[in-house]
Structure 1
């Protein structure tokens, strides 16, 4: 049984859900220690069964026993220790998904984890449900949500512009959307906890990591990675990389991380 696995929702549900991923140590007899997760611009709903998982963010240490948890946007690497007989199923939500529920103000909620009551979720999940059952539940709910909200809201539009143009300023985004920069910044931070600039930096960082992991670093020069991903130069890229990982690109060990599978 693989410790890390990914499961994908339908094309329509994928508007709001990136994927479901699992950390499965349910038949393991030893701790999985010092594994790392990188920020990627998504929110996560985590369902823990069995014993517990310990998560260290840049702000705090969390002991996550059985139950459901809401994980905010992360801005730095996260360290994970998984106890034996423990399984964690994680629903990865796109940046704009929580903005569909405007009662949530996430302005000051980053690098944090909050235990929640599963009964308060807009879709009903059993914490011990098999992945197929969970996928059916998630697909049904988010397909209906997509039908109900065929028009994109302002947060989804901002993210779409950034995805399509990557190296773009807040002033340019405000021009595209014919809205003030200040209003966009307030709405984006309320919905995500991040500034627009920080979100752009996180996406750029993850793109560079994915490029490194899926390429032969012996042949791929760091200068090429830096310039391809719109960093000023190699030194700028190394500095930003160290800000998140606390190590240099040359010392980066993919085997220490839970990284997305290439789709």
Structure 2
């Protein structure tokens, strides 16, 4: 059984949900220690089954036993320890998804995790935390809910438009240019975006850009790519700028990066 596995939702649901992934130590007899997760500009709903998972963010340590947990945007590498007979199922939401629920103000909610009650979640028939969770049932639940949300919201809201513009420009755009495109003031854009995500637009762009660079290091012939090439390809000012951003998030230099220590996205 693979410790890390990924599952994908329907095309319409994918507008809101990036993917579903598992961290599965349900048949293990020992704790899986010191695994790392990189920030990626997404929110996560974690469904913990079994004993517990221990998560260290830049702010504090969280011990998560059976239940549902909402994980904020992370700005630094997260350390994870998974107890034996424990399974974590994670629904990964795009940065704009939570803005579909405007009653939530996440301005000061980063690098944090809160437990949530199952009854307070908007999804019908979401699976209960058990070691034998049915992934197909969870996929059906997510597809059903978010496909309906897709049809109820044919027009993109401001946060989704901001993220779309950033993606279309391959993270090579600033707040002023986004404001001109959307005909909004920079100040209003920043307030709206931070309230919906907890991040500034600049920080969000920085996270996406660095994550893309790291994925490139891992997936695209890493032996043939030096740091200068990676920095230039991803439009960093120079190698030093890339190394600085890398250290800010991971607390290590790129040359010390060991992919085997991380839970990294599979290459689609």
Could you state the TM-score of these two structures normalised by the residue count of structure 1?
0.99
2:232 is equivalent to residue 189 of structure 1: no
Deviations 1:36-84 (A, max 9, x none): 0000000000000000000000001000000000000000000000000
1:180 matched to which residue of 2? 185
Deviations 1:119-174 (A, max 9, x none): 10110312234111000000000000000000000000000000010210100000
2:119 is equivalent to residue 119 of structure 1: yes
2:92 matched to which residue of 1? 92
2:229 is equivalent to residue 224 of structure 1: yes
The 1-side partners of 2:163 and 2:265 are apart by: 20
- DSSP 3-state at the match of 1:218: helix
- DSSP 3-state at the match of 2:21: strand
The 2-side partners of 1:70 and 1:30 are apart by: 26
Does the 8 Å CA contact 2:41/2:74 hold for their aligned counterparts? yes
- DSSP 3-state at the match of 2:205: helix
The 2-side partners of 1:19 and 1:215 are apart by: 22
1:71 matched to which residue of 2? 71
2:22 matched to which residue of 1? 22
* Deviation (angstroms), 1:230: 1.1
2:211 is equivalent to residue 206 of structure 1: yes
Structure 1 stretches of 4+ moved >4 Å: none
* Deviation (angstroms), 1:221: 1.3
* Deviation (angstroms), 1:218: 2.5
- DSSP 3-state at the match of 1:163: helix
Alignment of 1:1-263 (within 5 A): 1-124=1-124, 125-127=126-128, 128=130, 129-165=133-169, 166-263=171-268
The 2-side partners of 1:65 and 1:182 are apart by: 40
The 1-side partners of 2:22 and 2:90 are apart by: 6
The 2-side partners of 1:47 and 1:218 are apart by: 37
The 2-side partners of 1:262 and 1:218 are apart by: 17
* Deviation (angstroms), 1:213: 0.2
* Deviation (angstroms), 1:211: 0.3
Aligned-pair Cα RMSD in Å: 0.7
- DSSP 3-state at the match of 1:212: helix
The 2-side partners of 1:20 and 1:108 are apart by: 26
- DSSP 3-state at the match of 1:47: strand
Unmatched 5+ stretches in structure 2: none
